[in-house]
């Protein structure tokens, strides 16, 4: 799998989904170390988690609520649960994503 991650991260289980990522499971949250080849597009979709991410290399082009924003290296973004969004990556991009359960555990 591509991506500029330390060996310890590369030893994590692979995420089984629409993109390549190493996955770290935690209570109430999954952490994904994701890599997207240039030209990758993730079609409009929703999910049941509140997603927060930081781009560590490259750029995410995120469309949500009819607005498109560019998120570059060192910048954070948030996609709330159940909000339709899509993503595009013009250049090779690596990011760390935190997928929090939408309902906080009590």
pLDDT recorded at residue 75: 96
pLDDT per residue as tens digits for the range 4-21: 787 878 888 899 888 889
pLDDT recorded at residue 105: 47
Confidence tier at 25 by pLDDT (50, 70, 90): confident
H or E stretch covering 7:
helix 7-10
Distance CA 88, CA 72 (A): 12
């Amino acid at each position: 799998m591509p991506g500029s991650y330390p060996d310890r991260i590369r030893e994590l289980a692979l995420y089984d989904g629409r993109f390549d990522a190493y996955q770290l499971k935690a209570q109430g949250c999954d952490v994904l170390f994701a890599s997207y080849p240039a030209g990758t597009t993730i079609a409009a979709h929703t999910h049941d988690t509140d997603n927060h991410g930081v781009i560590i290399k490259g750029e995410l082009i995120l469309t949500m609520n009819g607005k498109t924003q560019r998120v570059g290296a060192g910048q954070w973004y948030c996609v709330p649960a159940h909000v339709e969004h899509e993503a595009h990556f013009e250049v090779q991009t690596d990011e760390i994503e935190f997928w929090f359960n939408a309902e906080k555990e009590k």
